[in-house]
Structure 1
Amino acid sequence: MGTIVDLSLELDALPLGRALAATEGLELELEPVVPIGPRTCPFFWLFDRSLRTSRSDRIETFERHVEDTEKVDDLVRIGDVENSVLYRVGWSGDELPFVDGVVAADGAILEATATSTEWTVRLRFGGPTRIASFQQFCQDHGIAIELNRVVGLEHERSAAPATLTSGQAEALLMAARMGYFDRPRTTTLEEVATSLDVTPQAVGGRIRRGLSNLVTDALPVGDDRGDTRSGRDDH
């Protein structure tokens, strides 16, 4: 049975990351594919989440940065739907190390999204041996990854409870002890990050993903989810 791996990547790990980092309020989602070579992941969606500046200005800024990216040959806008744009991208050269690592371990990219701070990727592998091979590839090629969740495919399909990684548990405990969840807060994300000797972006991601996993544990989504939502007090 296969294994699902959720992980985080630095923006530089994939070519489009730098363009996204330079444009506020945008999020990116690659179309899911099974990697088969250097031309994989040719389509992606760009979502506009910001109301601070003109949407067209943000999109045009992003496109300029993508076109200036060394590993991108061309960028074509396929469609525009409300606050999202679909693109086709042509990669130049044969080197996409992260994707090469997935291919070498016989894995598949199920989801890949990015904000202005990091990539969040969901992969599927044949089992622990393949995952170990992929991790070794990343280590050998200087690709920094942070595992957020590893679960057997049979548990994923049955909506089994998620588990916290050690990093998520550490971040949540430290944040709670320092008063990050108090109202009013008695500490900042930067102070929590300093205590853990990591960046604010890293600790913020661990807290966010850890809370998501805890919610999955406490409130498993089943066939009765519609009834649960209808009876909830949103206020």
Structure 2
Amino acid sequence: MSVIADIDFSPESFELGRILRVEDGVVVEVESMVPLGESIIPYIWIYEPHRDGFEAAVKNHPSVESFEVQEVHDDRTLYALEWRASRDLVIKGIREGGAQLLEATGTGHNWRFELRFPSHDALSDFQDYCLSADIEMEVIRIYNPTKPDTGPWYGLSVPQREALMLAFREGYFDIPRQISTKELGNRLGISDQAVTERLRRGTSTLLAHSVMIEELQQAAESDE
């Protein structure tokens, strides 16, 4: 099963980070990376009023072959970058590990990549690769994607989501508890027992479609 990881890199640790180096307070966003033969074309957003200096610095970088404007809006500009990706060890590791870039954001201090790996083993292999290549990186968060048919609420029904959100906002899960199931029931227009059942079933559904998804998938595969 695939796994998603948020990973931080220092700008100096990979070629693209050095190319797109910005000053403090400036943010660069990579919208996507499109494979083109042996090359990869990143599409990059830069926000005003930093466009002119950023554009000049990128175009003058020795690894850059072209840096062209694709879209211009009032507050930001989209560029397509062509560069010698073969020199970039981070991008090489991502490609060889079969990972997919979901999002990347850079500042003057660090780059945050959101990467989808085909498995936990693939992520571990990527970490080993970065260590052996002396690439400065830190895994910030690891999580499993939800099932494709669960919808935007991790499989929760509308009543379950409503009950869980109200319980959370009102401190039902706090220690000490700030509201009772009877009070929640009065707010929702249902009985005390109905609130308890709805919270229990909603919590079970939420766990099954988030933190337990990999274990449940493995159990299902072993039964086949």
Same fold flag (TM > 0.5): yes
Alignment of 1:64-213 (within 5 A): 64-92=56-84, 94-154=86-146
Map of 2:30 onto structure 1: 30
Gaps of 5+ in 2: 155-159, 170-224
The 1:159–1:133 alpha-carbon spacing in structure 2 relative to 1, beyond 3 Å, is farther
State the Cα deviation string for residues 119-140 of structure 1 (Å, max 9, x = none): 0110001111101111111111
CA distance in 2: counterparts of 1:34 and 1:78, whole angstroms: 14
- The structure whose Rg is larger is 2
Q: What is the Cα-based RMSD across aligned positions, in Å? A: 3.0
The 1:223–1:80 alpha-carbon spacing in structure 2 relative to 1, beyond 3 Å, is farther
Q: Percent identity?
A: 24
Task: Give the TM-score of the pair, scaled to structure 2.
Answer: 0.61
Alignment of 1:30-49 (within 5 A): 30-33=30-33, 38-48=38-48
What is the number of equivalent residue pairs in this alignment?
158
Map of 1:176 onto structure 2: none
Cα contact 2:16–2:88 (8 A) shared by 1: no
The 1:21–1:89 alpha-carbon spacing in structure 2 relative to 1, beyond 3 Å, is closer
CA distance in 1: counterparts of 2:147 and 2:12, whole angstroms: 32
Task: Give the TM-score of the pair, scaled to structure 1.
Answer: 0.58
Cα contact 1:23–1:116 (8 A) shared by 2: yes
Gaps of 5+ in 1: 49-54, 161-221
Q: Secondary structure of 1:103's partner?
A: helix
CA distance in 1: counterparts of 2:59 and 2:34, whole angstroms: 25
Structure 2 counterpart of 1:3, one-letter code: V
